[in-house]
Structure 1
Amino acid sequence: MEDQSFLETLCNLEIPVTVRFSPDQRRVLFSTQLTWGHKKGSHAVSTIWLATTNVQRSAQRIICGTFNDYAPAWNPNGNSIAFISDRAQVGRNWALYMLALHDEAQPVLLTPPDNQSPITAFAFSPDGHSIASITLDEKSTEEKWAADNNNEDARVWGKAWSYARL
C-alpha cells in the first residue's frame, strides 16, 4: 500500500513548464503540469502561478488547474497576462485568454472559443495593445464530416497539410 501511495504522490507532482519574469523583474509567472503527461480524469490539466521574486513561499495559484491553461505571457504593462486554454470545451477546443492581475478578476476570452486546432504561439505587441498568434488552419465542414463518418484513423503523411497562419 505504501508503494501505491508513493506512486500516486509522484504522479500528482506538478512541475514547472513555462517560467516568465514580469517586465519589472519583481514577479515571476509560471505554469505547471503533472509529471509524465499524467492526467486528472481524461484530459490534461495545468496550473498558472504567480510569485514575488526574493520572497520565499510567495507563490499563489492564480489559475485553478481545472483546465489545460498554459503558455502564460506578461502584457508589457505588467498588469495582466495572456494564456492558452481549453476551458471553452475541455480537451477539444483552444482559445487565447487575458487575465488582469487585480482582485478576483476572471479570464476574458480573446479569440473564438471553437478553435479545434491549438494555438502554437502568441506574443504581445511592444505597447501591449495587440496580440499576434499562430494557429493551424481549421478543418473545413467537409473534412470534419469525412473524419467523423469514415472512421479513418490513418493519417497519410503529406496528404492533407495544415498550414500555420498568423
Structure 2
Amino acid sequence: MKATDLVVMRTHVRFLGRRFPRTIGRGGLTDAKCEGDGATPRGVHGIVGMLYRRDRMGRPADWALPIGPSDLWSDDVRDPDYNMMVRAPHAFGHEVLRRADPMYDIVILTNWNWPYPVKGRGSAIFVHQWRGPGRPTAGCIGLRRADLRWIAPRIQHNTRLVIA
C-alpha cells in the first residue's frame, strides 16, 4: 500500500498518517458483491472522480465536478447505462445525486464495476458523508463531514481506496 491510499481498516480509514472513523455497508465486507446486498466490496479500487454540491460548498478539489439538479446514478440492471451517471428524466431505477440531505455534498467516485459494468455485480461504491457513527451505508464508505472535507483536496491522481 502507498501512503496516498485511503485504507479501510476494521474501525477507521487511514489516510496520510491520520485515522478517521468510518462506516461501511449494512451487509459488511464481501468478496462477492451483488446489486442490492448492501455489502462493501473488498479490494483495491481506483478513484476516478469527485462530485460536489456547488450550492452548499466551494469546490473541494480543482478536479471536482458540480452535481446538477438532474444528475442521477443508474442502479437498475435492466438499464443499458447501468452503474453510470445519467440525467433526469430517466426511465430506469436510479439514485438521485442531488439529495435534500448533506450525504452527497461530496462524493468520491471509485472504479468499482466501472467503466464496463457487469450487470448485477453492484453499482457505485462511493466515499461520502455518513449518517452518523455506527449507521451503515448501502455499501459505500461513510465518513464525517469534516473528515471528508479534509481528505478531498488531498486526494492525488494515484490515490486508491483499499478495502482489506
Larger Rg: 1
Q: Which has the higher helix share?
A: 1
TM-score norm. by structure 2 comes to 0.28
Higher relative CO (Cα under 8 Å, sequence separation at least 6) belongs to 2
